Every structure is written in C-alpha cells, then in structure tokens.
Chain A
Amino acid sequence: MPPDNADPAIFVAHGLTKVYRMGEVEVHALRGIDLTLNRGELVVLLGPSGSGKSTLLNILGGLDAPTGGEVRYLDHMLTGASEAELTRFRREHVGFVFQFYNLIPSLTARENVAAVTEIAAAPMRPEDALGLVGLGNRLDHFPAQLSGGEQQRVAIARAVAKNPAVLLCDEPTGALDSATGVVVLEVLEKVNRELGTLTVLITHNAGIADMADRVIRLSDGMIADIHANPAKKAARELAW
C-alpha cells in the first residue's frame, strides 16, 4: 500500500540519461529527463518508436539502470541499487503489464496470479484480482484456452494482485484489435480509479492519451511536452 503522507510524489527523476553501446555506435536513448510521477495518477507516455519511452519505463521499473542522473522511489534511491534490491523492489512495489502478456502457459489464470501473490507481502486473493478484471468465471482456464484480450486481463490481474504502488504498462493494447483493446483499457482505468495505483501507460497511439490525467510526450530521448488533461475521457469513449 502506498504510504499515506503529504508528499504525493512516487517517482522523482533528475537528469536521467541512458547511452546504449550497440556494437560501435552509441545510442542516446535518454538525454536528460526530469520528471515527477504522483500517487493515483494515470500517466500516458506518448512517442514514436525510438523516442526513449520504453527505456524510461524500464528504469522506473528497476529493469535497467540509467547512465547518468538519479531516480528516487518514495524514499528509496533506485540508482545504484544492487540486483537483489531491484528484484525486491519489483517484487514488492511494481506491477508490470507487457505487450505480449507473458503469461506462464503451464499455469491456469488463477495460478498465474497466485505465482505472484505467493511471493508478495500483502496481496489480494487471486480470485478477487481476476474478479476485478472481469474474469471471475475463467479462473481455471489455461492461457491457451483464453483469447488475447482475456490473456491481457489476466496479466493485469497478475500485476495488480500484489497491491503495487505503481503499475507499468508497455503497449498493453499493442497486440490487440481496438474493440478488445478498449476492454483492456477499461480494466486499467478501473484499477487506477478503485485502487488508486499510479499507472504509467506507454503507447504510440495518440488516441489513448485522452484517458490520461497527464500526457508526457517524448521525442528523441527528451521530454517534448507535458500537459495535464482536465477533460479526461472514459476508456469506452476512445476510438482509434
């Protein structure tokens, strides 16, 4: 559960840079990012491919380390943390949703969720998490028996079941048709609203940006602009 104190900031990043060495060329994926992400927000990271949005998400999720600058999660410094500390950070505080679901094919929907709740500190019951995403009646189905949208909803249930402080979603609708995509976004919207989880959603689809509290546009490794979206739309009103 996110701590209840006055400071709403969950992530604070200063001067983040990331340089990949791809063989003989250096790729500057991030060129100095300053950013604050607050409790309960739904943030959309928008940008074309290569703009650095995935790199940023990976650094926030503790999957990657920046080349320069620093990131703070609440009062933990993520930059310079050890592999084991990052693993514990992911395990306790972060929920991930991937473009290709990444479910474990040998486990049922319930067990995919349970795999995470078994190692979490204060999780929901897997059945409740699946109920939240509208799959209360598909508990004992294996991934192979579920449609793409259903699989992604299982993945969301798996991500939120541990009651994370932050939900990181990398192109969650990228592999889905638009009708199914909307259903998935509705679930994310519901989770954000009901659990108050900071939700960061990566997309290159500008149509999705309308459901965000804030939209951060990245271009060429830098923040092009940040704008608040006071007239945020419900997911079911979106179309692309």
Chain B
Amino acid sequence: MKTLDRKLLRDLWHLRGQVLAIAAVIMGGVATMVMSLSTYDSLVTTRDRFYGEYRFAEVFATLKRAPETLTERLAALPGVEHLETRVRAGVKLEVAGFSDPITGLLLSLPDVGEAQLNRLHLKRGRTVQAWSTDEVVLSDTFADAHGFQPGDTLSAIINGRRKTLTVVGVAVSPEYVYQIAPGSMFPDFKRYGVLWMGRHALAAAYDMEGAFNQLSLTLARDAHEQDVIDRVDAVLADYGGTGAYGRENQFSNRFLSEELKQLKTMATIFSAIFLGVAAFLLNVVLSRLIALQRDQIAILKAFGYGYLAIGAHFVKLVLLMAVLGVAAGVALGGWFGQGLSNVYTETTFRFPYLDYRIDLRVILIALAVSCLAAVSGTLYSVVRAARLPPAEGMRPEMPATYRTTLVERIGLQRWFATPTRMILRHIGRRPLKSLLTVLGIACACGLMMVGNYQKGAIDFMVDVQFRQASREDLALTFIEPTSGRALHELAALPGVDFVEGFRDVPAILRFGHHHYRSAVFGIQPQGQLHRSLDHRLQPVALQPGGVVLTDHLATNILHVKPGDMLTVEVLEGSRPVRQVPVLGITKQYLGVSAYMQQDSLNALMREGSTVTGAYLALQPGAEAALYARLHERPRVLGMVANAAAIQSFYATIGEFILFYTLVSTLLAGAIGFGVVYNSARIALSERGRELASLRVLGFSRGEIAYILLGELALLTLVAIPVGFLVGVGLVGILVVAFQSELYRLPLILTPENYAMGASVVIVSALLSGLLLWRRLGRLDLVAVLKTRE
C-alpha cells in the first residue's frame, strides 16, 4: 500500500464521526430512492409475470344474456385468439357472526377442465369438483378477512334465494388483484368478496342455464384491440351488451395501473428530492471539510506531488465516504423496500408471489449522483487550496479580514457583548458559507415536512370526502334501474332518517379526442347527503340540463371548460349518444365524477323518475336491524357503509402511507442530523484555535461554547423559517406531480408538519451541541501556544 493511501485510511478513521454523519446524509437519500424504486419495479415485474402465467385476458365484455350458441360466432371473429364465456352474478353474502352488509361477486368456472383465461392461483384447498352444486372457491382477501378455511360454509342470496355454499379453496386471480366493491372507493376485504363456482350450479341458481352474461378474450397476434372491441360490440348489441373494453378499462387492472403510476411518481419525486438534497448537502459539507486540509495540500505540493496526485488523493477520500453511504443506503433501502412491498401486497394488491428485486440501474444512479456531488465539492476546494504557493498554503489562513456588521454600523453595537459580536462578524465574514449552512439545515427541515405531510393530507381528504361531500351513512344499489317510488319504501323502514335517490349510468365521456369511461351520476339538486363542492369546498346547488365535472376530470383528462358541449355515450339500454353542456367544475380529492341533476339524467335517458340506488341517513343504533331487513329485499344488491369505508381506507391506504411516512421521517432525520452535526464540527475545526486561546485567557468552557454554539443556534433559528418555505415548496411539487384519477393531494400543511420539521432541526442541533460541548472540554490548550494552527 502506498503511503498516501495509508494516510487516507488514517484520515478516515480520524474523521470517523464526520464520515459517519456524511454517510448518513447519503444513506438517507439513497435509501429513499432504493426503497421507492425497487418497490415499484418489483410490483411491475410481479404483475407482468402473474398476468402472463395466469393468462389474464385482454378484452372483456358484460351483457344482459346471450345463448351459449353465440360463443362460436364470437370466437370466430377476426382478431380473437381465445374466447371464454362465463356467468357472473352480483350477490349478497351472509357470514355467521358478522352483521354488516357484504357484497359478493360470483363467477363461473368451467364444469369440465380448467379455465383457459383468467386462471386461478390456488393458495389453499382445491378447485370445485365437476358438476358440484354448492362448492365455491373464495378470493384470498375475503377468506383471510373472515378466517375461512376449506370446509367452512357461508350463505349467498342469489336472485333473492338463499343458498348455502361450502368453501373448498382459496385463490388469487389476475382479474382481481385489486378488489373493490362497485360504488366503493377503497378496498374493503371484510365487506366485499369474489367467489368462483361451477358453471352449471351458478347458472341454475341465477337462471342462466344455456346462457352467459360475460366474456373475456385474448387477441390474436397483430390484431388491433379497438377493431375487436367494435366487432364484439356489434354482435352483443342485440343481447344487452354494455360495451366491450380492453385491459386499460378493466377494473382491477385500471386501479392497479393508477396505483403503480402513483407509486412511480412518488418514487421518482421522493427519490429526486431526497437524493438531490443529500447531494447538495454532501457537496457543501465536503467542500468545507477539504478546505480545512489546505495545509496538508500545501505540504504535499511542497514534496513535489502534482495537482493530479493531490486531487486523486482527496477524491479517493470522499469517494470512500460516498461509497460507504451508498452501500448503507442500498442495504437499508432494500430492507425497507421489501417491507414496503409486503405492506402493499398485504393491504392492497393480491399477488400469489412477490418478485422482489433491486434494479442495478437504481444503484448505479444513486452511486453516480452521490459520487458526482462528492467529487465536485471536493475538487473545488482542492483546486482552490492547490493554487496557492506551498509556503503560503502552510501558513494559516489567518488573520482573516473581518468587518463590523451592518447591525453594528447602524449603531446597535452597544446592545451586543463581545462574544455576540464575534458570532455576528463570523457569520457576516463568509455570508455565502453561512447561507449554504442555513440552506442545508433548511433542506433537512423541509424534507422532514415532506416526509410526514401525507398523513395530515389524508385526514383532510377523508374529512372533505366523507364529512362534507358524501355524508350518507349508507349507500345502496338496486339490482337494476328502478322506479323512484322505491325510495318511499326505503324511507318508511324503521331506523331510516332520510333518503336521497340517485341514478348512475355507465357512459363514455368524450370531448375532442379525449375520452373517459366512467358513469354519470344523477343526484338531487339540493342534496343533504350527497353533494358536490366548489373550489372553496362549499356545497353548490346543481343546475338543470347539464353536467358538472370534477376539476381533475375536466381539466386534465377531458380538457373541457364550463360552456363546452360534452358527448356522453351511454353504455346501457339502447346506448344513446347525447350532447350535454358542461355547467361547472367541482372540487373533489378522491376519485373523479360527473354529476347531473337526477331529473335531467332521467330526461337524457328518455325515462321517467328512475333510480339505481339511494343514499340513506340512519338513526344511530339502527344499523344492524336495518341491514337485516335490507338484506331480505331481493332488489337491493349492494350496500356500502360510510363508516366502514373510512375504516377500510385507513386500514389499507393508510397503513401503506404510514409505513412510508415513518421511513421517510427516519431518513429525513438522519439527513438532518448529518448536516447539522457536520456544520457544527467543521465550525469547531475552523475555530478551535481561537476558542482555545480564549480558554487560555481565562474564558470558561461555557463562555467559549456560547461563541461556537451561539453561531450554530443563530443559523439554526434562521434556517427554520427558511426550511418551512422549502417544505411548502417541496410539498407543492408533490401535489402537482401526484394528480391522478385515484386522488389529488391537497396542499395542506398542519401545525404538526411544521413542528416536526422544526424539531428535527432543533433536536439535531441540541445533540450536536452536546457532542461539541464534550469536545470543547478536550481542547488542547497547550498546543495553541506553540502552533500556528
């Protein structure tokens, strides 16, 4: 080993406290990046493999009823590779010991042989036996939520008739990776389940013998998806088809894609912010650290080492620190990433397996950014120091030129004792350096705010969504469009306070070349329960004759503004196409919707007063009895209780966000401490001699600590409000980047966010102060008398 390299290792050991603090900064940035991106990569890889291995279909269609003889004609359509028909039935489920309403979806499995498309992955038990009449396979989320094992039984109300079903297996399907009840916003594993049953048995129970009401298919090579969809639609038009659709509109896949898109945005933005801030801090800290080595640089130059050799020596020093940080970051990020992926697959997405992987590119990017930041900060200082003639370099950089500060020149100096003046002048002498320190600390504060911003934002979204917009206790849907008179019967039920009907019509909304497949909701113009909100979150009365759209849907998806004419292609009944004016824009954080007055929507459909469901306000305590009575009504298909929805939201998305928040808070804390501690340590190195001189002159440890830590405290105090601005800015970036169909984050920062940001900085400063206090006790007083620096 060359002598210079040995010096390198000893320097590293000597600087170990600072090396660790610097590595912590890099680790924080890299770990965030690795965690986020590896989770995203792993979920995408897993999804693609699962879709491929279990033959997830590419086009889907539901219809009212068609004879099985039609299958051959459909399968022979050009562009179809493989086609399968099924019976699908919406049911109500009853589980012993659980009184809340449960919505179920029953799907048929072929009586003989295995399904060719959308195959099940059995986790437990077996599949249904050929020609069995009561055996079912349960989706694993529902089975796990209720603890079902093969051999257990549950009841289903199919077409108004109760049927006892025996569980024989538990499975995962590529079609239902993301399971969510129709009309619901979040997964609720206890109150929604997918079940698979033999075709013959289900058809008999659902009056579908010799017929089907759903199909899925894969495309032949080179087939154009839209052409196939059009051909299928043409055939199904006479059988009550509601429009075939591709994977992009398949419910589970669409949510999965949106979530993954969201995760990708979060991963990219968080990684960029964390790694960017870490790189900046690294650059600042290292350039100051290397500036302190100017005498060594001068000595090496005096020995005859060239610029390159000296530069390489210090570059090696900082690269070792960077690599240490990156390695720790990758290890920690990988560990957190696995945790995060597990949270995802346990709460939101169901895959039979998880292919966890860290893309080598992620590591390389992290390494490259860290090294670049480290090396550029280092070279700047090395070049500056190496430009000096060796003799001058070996002389201390003293005495530095100081000036009285502005506050003193305007006559305030009598208010400051000498130590305070030293603090002010020291800050004033190197304003850029002080500014960089302030910025560094401010970044740490801002990161902390970003890290825990989401919890407050989610509380706010839930409040707006469930306490101001959707205030119903229970939303129920009918089995098919029903006369408005049904509402009177509901209102008369005991325990029901208030009823509002709604009509929803599946439709494609089109404007220019933009379109969106969703539904138009007809609600009451002066609704008490379900309301639309303006941008100030005040309820607005709906005007007749037109549609109001969620801001995200109007602005970012359809690109319409009030006054434009929207084309509404209805996907049920005679599938009319209508022009509807856009009347206004509403504010909504969760999901996107198109609202009309119910009367206007009925008029659009050329129908009398018709509803597809109702919002109910209930008397407290009446829920259980009412659920039981609603359960008995054959026309009531599904029920979603608001309280349960909020609960399940927190249990699913909440858990994921909390994990992410916890981790990024920890990492932001590591970065914050790294920056503050390094700033303080470097200040001590720069001023150690001065402080020791004062000690010799009779200053106590407390008095010199005031001079050193007073500066740190002052810079920290200035950094906190700047950090608040940085935090608001970073959150602003997040809010803009995060807009998606699923949700838009509000720009809401709670007092807790500010408090967390400030406290990470203050705690770091206090801790650093404590460590410095110990070091000040060990200052070598004798050495300062004899040495120049």
A interface, CB within 8 angstroms of B: 54, 58, 61, 63-64, 84, 87-88, 90-92, 94, 96, 98-100, 102-108, 111, 114-116, 118-120, 142-145, 151, 158, 162, 170
Contact = CB atoms under 8 A, between A and B. Distances in A.
Interface in B675-722: 689-690, 693-701, 703
Given A90-B697, A143-B399, A144-B401, A115 B418 contact: yes
22 contacts: A54-B785, A54-B786, A58-B782, A58-B785, A61-B696, A63-B696, A63-B781, A64-B782, A87-B698, A87-B699, A91-B698, A91-B700, A96-B696, A96-B697, A98-B693, A102-B689, A102-B693, A104-B693, A106-B422, A144-B399, A144-B402, A170-B785
A84 B421 CA distance: 25
B384 interface: no
Nearest to A93: B698
Interface in B391-417: 398-404, 417
B403 A116 contact: no
A144 B429 CA distance: 13
Given A90-B696, A91-B698, A105 B782 contact: no
A115 B695 contact: no
Contacts of B696: 61, 63, 90, 96, 98, 102
B222 to A, nearest CB: 78
B698 A158 contact: no
A63 B695 CA distance: 9
Contacts of B402: 105-107, 142, 144
Contact of A104 (B690, B695, B787, B788): B690
A44 B48 CA distance: 88
Given A104-B693, A142-B401, A151-B399, A119 B784 contact: no
Contacts of B429: 106
Given A58-B782, A106-B421, A111-B418, 16 more contacts: A63-B781, A87-B695, A91-B700, A96-B697, A96-B785, A98-B785, A102-B785, A104-B422, A105-B398, A105-B401, A105-B402, A120-B698, A145-B401, A151-B399, A158-B697, A170-B786
Contact of A84 (B695, B699, B700): B700
Contacts of A98: 693, 696, 784-785
A49 B425 CA distance: 38
Interface residues of B, number: 34
Nearest to A102: B693
A144 B400 contact: yes
B561 interface: no
B749 to A, nearest CB: 38
Nearest to B703: A119
A92 B699 CA distance: 10
A51 B399 CA distance: 31
B426 interface: yes
B785 to A, nearest CB: 5
A178 B591 CA distance: 86
Nearest to A87: B700
A119 B696 CA distance: 13
A84 B703 CA distance: 12
B784 A102 contact: yes
Most B Cβ at <10 Å: residue of A54, A96, A102, A106: A106
Interface string B459-477: 0000000000000000000
B788 A119 contact: no
Contacts of B419: 115
